[in-house]
Chains A and B, each alone.
Chain A
Amino acid sequence: MIDLSILINNLDTYLEGFKNTVLSSIIALIGSFILGVIIAIFRISPLKPLNWIGTAYVEFIRNIPLLIITFFFFIGLPALGLTLSGFVAGTIALAIYTASFIAEAIRAGIQSVPKGQMEAARSSGLTYLQTMTKIILPQAIKIVIPPIGNQFINLVKNSSILGIVAGLDLMYFGDIVSSTTFVTFDVYIFVALFYLVLTIPLSLGVGYLEKRLARNH
């Protein structure tokens, strides 16, 4: 059976890791959302060079492993003379990686609003910016929320990458607990439960939003 005393005796260690996993996820979530919106604007912008930058970002970042991006900040930058902690390197990498998926979700949402609406709004005298903020975005946001929610769940799971670069997260402190107790199985069952405490409510929430927004649509 699973030894509960491992959890009780090492609760502080687990909670420290849990706190850092949550913290890294929240910082990366905000960062990836802001960056994702900017990249999405680039991608749908009528200006060609911005368009290229947006497309290049999304296509390149989406198609390489998060681990490489993380190692770039944790091992690559020090080789160039800039040292970051595992927590900082991992969190930046998470934000950069997730932003490419969020940008893609936002772009798909905006482009799912029929083109005729943009033309109608523009010809009735609204500026491009007004059309975007008053007509297109309010409709797009409904389509965009569920996929962005899914990306945030992935982000929380992906934050375990911090464990590889000594980023003080749940995986990292799981390792600490298992090296002091000489137990691996039970220790990581509890690590898994801590992750589920975060991801299951998020999944249920996203599932609920998906159903509700689909009904209104």
Chain B
Amino acid sequence: MDFAGALSGDHLKFLFNGFMVTLYIAFISIVLSFIIGIIIGTLRYAKIPVISKVLALIVETIRNLPLLLIIFFTYFALPEIGIKMSITAAAITALTVFESAMLSEIVRSGLNSIDKGQIEAARSSGLTYIQTLSKIVMPQALRRMVPPIVSQFISLLKDTSLAVIIALPELMHNAQIIYAQNINYVIPIFILVSVMYFIVNYGLSLIARRLESRQA
């Protein structure tokens, strides 16, 4: 094992750059997924005849597929039907598709957790259904969604590593390039990369826990 060689300044910088890509891709994907997740989750909650059922089918299908398959498919299979994307676009698309399905479930259960009596009260005091949703139900539900969304972001940060199969230059990919040079770098790099993921994710999980206990 060669700790000094593996953890040289250049290598650290290269890993740091990779980690920035990981954070960047994960952040963009979670923001997009949040927007799409809110729309899908609300449409499913509102039980609009055909639409809710179709969305349920799509969400359940995506949630039950491996993310690795979705990433691979987006980059390697979609070009066969004419949809060609850059590596970065494919990574963001695949992660967003998968995470939107996950977040829509968080949104839906957040909305469902609000007491039905409040909807009846709001409706009978003259608010429309849309007003009730946007002014009464959604603001309360959003607060309850924050901790599970932070947890989902942690999963997403970890899952971004799966984009190594399409050679996205994120942390794991850059780590691979470094330890491929010298077998004595493998263990030191694994330790360092694990610690990098751990610090960020553990920090986020502490935030999620604090938010949860504040609400309880």
Contact = CB atoms under 8 A, between A and B. Distances in A.
Contact of B194 (A64, A158, A159): A64
A157 B66 contact: yes
Contacts of B72: 171, 188
A66 B60 CA distance: 23
B68 A164 contact: yes
B136 to A, nearest CB: 25
A47 interface: no
B59 to A, nearest CB: 11
Overall SS of chain B's interface: helix
Given A71-B190, A72-B190, A203-B64, A183 B80 contact: yes
Given A68-B161, A196-B64, 5 more contacts: A60-B198, A67-B172, A159-B66, A160-B66, A188-B73
Interface of B: 60-61, 63-69, 72-73, 76-78, 80-81, 154, 158-159, 161-162, 164-165, 172, 179, 183-184, 186-187, 190, 193-194, 197-198, 201-202, 205
B76 A65 contact: no
Q: For A64, A153, A185, A199, which residue has the most chain B Cβ atoms within 10 angstroms?
A: A64
A4 interface: no
A63 B197 contact: yes
A60 to B, nearest CB: 6
29 contacts: A59-B202, A59-B205, A60-B194, A63-B154, A63-B205, A66-B158, A67-B161, A68-B190, A68-B194, A68-B197, A75-B186, A76-B187, A80-B187, A157-B64, A157-B66, A157-B67, A161-B162, A164-B164, A171-B69, A171-B72, A184-B77, A184-B80, A185-B80, A191-B69, A192-B73, A196-B65, A200-B64, A203-B60, A203-B64
A79 interface: yes
B197 A76 contact: no
Q: For A59, A65, A75, which residue has the most chain B Cβ atoms within 10 angstroms?
A: A65
Given A59-B202, A64-B201, A80-B187, A188 B77 contact: yes
